[in-house]
Amino acid sequence: MEISEHIDALRREGVLLADAAARTDLAAPVPTCPDWRLGDLVRHVGQVHRWAAAYPSQRLDAVLDEAGAQAVIGPDPSDAALLDWFREGHAALVTTLSEAPADLECWSFLPAPSPLAFWARRQAHETAVHRFDADAAAGSPGPAVDPAFALDGIDELLRGFMARGRAKVHCDGPRTVRIRATDGPGSWRLTVSREPLAVTTEESPEPADLTITGPAHELYLLLWNRLTVEQAERQAQTGPVELSGDRGLLDLWRDGAAIR
């Protein structure tokens, strides 16, 4: 996806998140994040937006320490001011990324064509996944993201976060998982063992121990641990989610594929 497309998605998803929060009690539980209330979710995303905006806006070349992060995030707003505070930070992040030069140099933490491409992509998916959390708190699944964006988010998760060597998805293995989208050109093969998770997009004639197929939107939320298989099957708008093989590998994923 182009940087401009990620920024457009960030803009859209942030507005949808704020709208979901505005029609819901901030004390409402977040089913997809059991330890949080809706107010906790909105604060978290608002803090991430301010933290993320600091790197391109200030051309920071190293990760902020705790004191530096707190300085750019600023004081914690009251519940009464929370949504205005969130919208302000979201708009500032969108503006920062929209106005940043293509040759921007700053710190980032996943492979990307450029730091600007990294931050636009990361914040688009950060906001989209948490928008789904806000909709869950509001009691509605909300609108689906389009297949191209969902496939991009799956790729960031699998070949970005999960391939960093910090994922806790392990087994005695090796065991393999094939993930295929039914509404776009997305296919990934995961090899789970005691070693760091290996991810490739190359097709293999060898059958996988588990194959997961379905629409990109449902796979996106399933792999980000926002839907169970049963929920994905019920909510699929463009086709079924199907599992073939060892479903225990999906349980292994759910237990170990948390993003911190």
What average pLDDT is seen over the chain? 93
Work out the pLDDT band at 231, boundaries 50, 70, 90.
confident
Interacting residues of 12 by C-beta distance below 8 A, sequence separation 6+: none
pLDDT surpassing 70 at residue 237:
no
Given this model, what pLDDT does residue 120 score? 98
Given this model, what pLDDT does residue 203 score? 82
Cis ω before 174 (30° cut-off from 0): yes
pLDDT surpassing 60 at residue 236:
no
Strand ranges of the sheet holding 187-192, from the earlier edge strand across to the other edge: 198-200, 187-192, 175-181, 210-214, 242-245
Confidence (pTM): 0.94
More confident residue, 204 or 5: 5
Pick the closest to residue 241 from 223, 258, 257, 253 (CA basis). Answer: 223
Least reliable range by pLDDT among 93-97, 116-120, 236-240: 236-240
Work out the pLDDT band at 139, boundaries 50, 70, 90.
very high
Given this model, what pLDDT does residue 126 score? 98
